Chains A and B, each alone.
Chain A
Amino acid sequence: MLFNSLHFLIFFPVVAALFFAAPDRYRLPLLFLASCYFYMAFIPAYILILFVLIAVDYTAGILIERATGKARKRYLVLSLIANIGMLGVFKYFNFFSTNVAAVNQWLGIPVHPILLHLALPIGLSFHTFQSMSYTIEVYRGNQKAERNLLVYSVYVLFFPQMVAGPIERPYNLLPQLRRPVRFETNRVTEGLRIMLWGFIEKVVVADRLALYANQVFNDPARHHGLTVLLGIYFFSFQIYCDFSGYSHIAIGAAKILGFNLMTNFKRPYFADSIADFWKRWHISLSTWFRDYLYIPLGGNRVPVWHWYLNLFLVFLISGFWHGANWTFLVWGALHGAYLIAAIVLAPLRSNVLSRLRLRGTEWGIRALDTVVTFHLVTFAWIFFRARSIADAGLICRNLFQWTTGRVSFEYPLGPSDLTLAFLCIAFLLFVDSLHGRFSFAQALSVRPRWLRWSFYYATVFGILFFGVLTQSKFIYFQF
């Protein structure tokens, strides 16, 4: 079920109403059933995969806690193999098979790749990572194994965040699932406000920009110069609003039901370095990789070459997590390379700044850093979005072919739509720039009702009026 569908707009209020009308003891079963229904709206049979994962990790958690010595590790490894194995079968098998066949072909050994004709279960990468987070934390002794199967099932299946995160940690979500929830008007209103912002990001901004970006990335041979440049910029904002929009709707929906999910985005395009960007972008995933891969690999407490290798590996794997395609590997590798380059060039930068008698904290320098970071990130997005490495190469080549200064987008995108797209980006940057300095929600909450309601009506009708109401999927659903 898509958040931006009529189905969800009926489903969610019904679930929320039943949730608060039901006595405490029925609320968790209700959430379980609602989550199953939500997931089964995509491909019903795939709920079985989730049940298998739940059974494996629930059992693994208890066994890890009970066991001592090497047996603990053995159970953890078995659980990780089950999770990664599931990902391997559904997500990576065809990629490896095709590439092994290609290498054999290159060596002159004709081999036909064995391909599995399986659709990728929606959000598989998200719930396997959330499950792995649980067993790892139990293994580390930071989390008690959950004995209540229903609580654990809802931890994995919780519908607001099950298909595209935020990837929750057991110590944040599990305790919330056990405590009773009371209806609080302020919390519900706050949740609705967050959801509304998520819908603006997705339906008004992301889906509008997608109309342009898709034209460039789906047929790169057709577009050149300014059109390609706009397509790339638009995708950069599209993916941000698409994913951030999803996260906001998820966080808002969970808040209405009385649960606090972790923040996933903190104005990422205002980051002044790549390292800063990863502290602001898809925080639940970047902290997952930090906690469960980067630090276990030794982090930065190893020889310098090893540190660089750790960084590069983490980003390469992060790229591969996003999809079984060389484009995602290049995207991850680019980010790894950016980070290493930033560390290597840091002394040079300090030298240059000190010769210019600058400290590096001046407004102009930080603005320049932000612009450079944004462009490095945007350049990497080309590989993330392109259908193949060849397409990405073509986009990069055509980007510099400025035969005319005109844009060549096709119908339905006229000048007014293009203006609207720019206004969407300006609006987003304006809202993001206010964030942290000014609490719009707080300012609104002290205003008289007529003003608050006028604002809400304007927002809802603004979404309907300016939105692209075609129920397009969220980009991160594919991962």
Chain B
Amino acid sequence: MNRFLSSLFMFGIGFALLFLLCSGHFAVLSRNDNLDVQLQLFSRVRPEILVLGDSHAAMDVDARTLGPRYFSFAYPQENWREILLKARYAFDAKPEIREVVIPLDVHMFGAYRNEDEDLTHTMRFDRSYEHLAETFGGRWFRAHYVRSLSSLYLPLTLAPNWTNYRVLVLDDLSKNILGKTPRKRIEIDAYGSMSYSDTNEFDSLPASSRREAARARAQEQLHDPIVCAPLVRAFDSFLDLCASRRIQVIGVRYPLTPEFREAAASYDLERVEQVYRDRSGHFEHVLDYRTLFDGKPGSFRDEDHLTKHAALEFTNRLRRDLEQIVPEPSELRSASWERGTAVAP
């Protein structure tokens, strides 16, 4: 048995060394990912109006169309805890920010947005133990903190990163052997605009499949508990943060397909609406675009995200509405967004 145990120990050491090697390789391949590009871009701009949120804000808003006064700091799947810490980071780094545009969607407090034991995403812009403990808290916070810190430095200790690693290695091989650079699923351009690389259209599906997809999506996003107290607390902290910095909050309800709205109607949305109603004093304005694309075929790529051309149309409309709320000072009107602010991803 002792011989077996010593062999096992030696095998374990070999495994750990190979694991470190793979982790290092992954770190090299994954530098300049979408979040890196976004953070680099942010360091180079001086926005007055910050767009925050999850994939709705990240995909439906075209950063280039918005212009130099704005910066879209939204990132897919971010929840209120992450948005709060990202906002604090942004407000500290850019004191000139005067307005924030936030999503007031029905899924923002749902259980599926409450699952963030992994803090590595947040640690990319805020590694402070106090901030993270205050925002995430919970019984197992210390364990999650240590685990996240280890996966920040050894990303392959996080299971999903092995999938990313495989994709990156295969892409790298494809680039070096075949000379082809494969497209990422979500691409970020030099202005920070994010978009899906595919050209799927929700309307191309049969009606029954659209209903089924919308039902599945609504179930995923709105299943019980539809309002999670920790997310509401983070939302309140976010509103308090904005109030303390005298930053105006503008709420946006992003476009949704009729199929999704129909599927969502069977859930207890009133509880979410109550959360927003109770805090309506914090929002100077709420822009509701949920039905904006009804009857416009080809506008959605899935149940609740716009296609590229619809995102452009939506951004123009959003910008026009925002300009009415926050008029652009005349001296900035001539500033060129094309020069100086873009970085290569």
Contacts and interface: CB of A to CB of B under 8 A. Distances in A.
Asked if chains A and B come from one complex, the reply is yes
Interface of A: 6, 20, 183, 185, 188-189, 218-219, 221-222, 410-412, 416, 453, 456-457, 460-461, 464-470
A221 B14 contact: no
B162 to A, nearest CB: 5
A468 B159 CA distance: 9
B243 interface: no
A195 to B, nearest CB: 14
A227 to B, nearest CB: 12
Given A183-B1, A222-B213, A464-B162, 14 more contacts: A183-B4, A185-B1, A221-B209, A221-B212, A416-B167, A416-B174, A416-B182, A453-B14, A457-B14, A457-B15, A465-B165, A467-B162, A468-B163, A470-B160
Contact of B185 (A6, A183, A219, A412): A412
A456 B15 CA distance: 10
Contacts of B167: 416
Interface of B: 1, 3-4, 11, 14-15, 18, 22, 156, 159-160, 162-163, 165-167, 169-170, 174, 182, 185, 198, 200, 205-206, 208-209, 212-213, 216
Given A411-B198, A468-B163, A221 B208 contact: yes
Contacts of A411: 185, 198
Contacts of A465: 162, 165-166, 169
A295 B14 CA distance: 54
A453 B14 CA distance: 9
B206 A416 contact: no
Contacts of A464: 156, 162
Contacts of A185: 1, 3-4
24 contacts: A6-B159, A20-B1, A183-B1, A183-B4, A219-B213, A221-B206, A222-B209, A410-B200, A411-B185, A412-B185, A416-B170, A453-B11, A453-B14, A456-B11, A457-B14, A457-B18, A461-B18, A464-B156, A465-B169, A468-B163, A469-B159, A469-B160, A469-B163, A470-B160
Contacts of A218: 216
- Which 8 pairs between the two chains have the least Cβ-Cβ distance? A469-B159, A222-B209, A221-B208, A185-B4, A183-B1, A221-B209, A464-B162, A219-B212
Contacts of B174: 416
A343 B261 CA distance: 56
Contacts of A416: 167, 170, 174, 182
Contacts of A410: 200
Contacts of B163: 468-469
Main DSSP-derived SS at the B contact region: helix
B226 to A, nearest CB: 21
Contacts of B3: 185
Contacts of A461: 18, 22
A222 B206 CA distance: 7
A185 B167 CA distance: 38
Nearest to A13: B8
B212 A469 contact: no
A403 to B, nearest CB: 12
Contacts, number: 54
Contacts of B182: 416
Main DSSP-derived SS at the A contact region: helix
Given A461-B18, A464-B162, A467-B162, A188 B4 contact: yes
A231 to B, nearest CB: 14
A221 B15 CA distance: 46
Contacts of A6: 159
A469 B158 CA distance: 10
Contacts of B212: 219, 221-222
Contacts of A467: 162
A8 to B, nearest CB: 14
A418 to B, nearest CB: 12
Contact of A469 (B162, B170, B200, B213): B162
Nearest to A182: B1
B324 to A, nearest CB: 37
A20 B163 CA distance: 36
A461 B23 CA distance: 12
A460 B162 contact: no
A79 to B, nearest CB: 40
A466 B200 contact: no
Given A468-B163, A469-B159, A469-B163, A219 B14 contact: no
Nearest to A410: B200
B218 to A, nearest CB: 15
A183 B5 CA distance: 12
Nearest to A186: B4
A329 B18 CA distance: 49
Contacts of A469: 159-160, 162-163
Given A219-B212, A411-B185, A411-B198, A466 B166 contact: yes
A468 B212 CA distance: 25
Contacts of B162: 464-465, 467, 469
Contacts of A470: 159-160
A20 B182 CA distance: 51
B205 A222 contact: yes
Q: Which of A6, A222, A460 has the most CB of B within 10 A?
A: A222
A437 B28 CA distance: 44
Contacts of B170: 416
Nearest to B167: A416
A181 to B, nearest CB: 12
Nearest to A183: B1
Contacts of B160: 469-470
Contacts of B166: 465-466
A457 B13 CA distance: 11
Contacts of A468: 163
Contacts of A189: 4
A222 B212 CA distance: 10
A468 B160 CA distance: 8
A176 to B, nearest CB: 20
A411 B213 CA distance: 14
Contacts of B205: 222
A192 to B, nearest CB: 10
B30 to A, nearest CB: 15
B315 to A, nearest CB: 24
Contacts of B4: 183, 185, 188-189
A465 B22 CA distance: 10
B209 A460 contact: no
Contacts of A457: 14-15, 18
Nearest to B206: A221
B1 A219 contact: no
A205 to B, nearest CB: 15
A348 B167 CA distance: 53
Contacts of A188: 4
Nearest to A222: B209
A183 to B, nearest CB: 5
A423 B169 CA distance: 17
A6 B200 CA distance: 36
A185 B206 CA distance: 59
A132 to B, nearest CB: 38
B161 to A, nearest CB: 9
Contacts of A412: 185
A412 B160 CA distance: 13
Nearest to A454: B14
A393 to B, nearest CB: 14
Nearest to A464: B162
Nearest to A449: B7
B15 A460 contact: yes
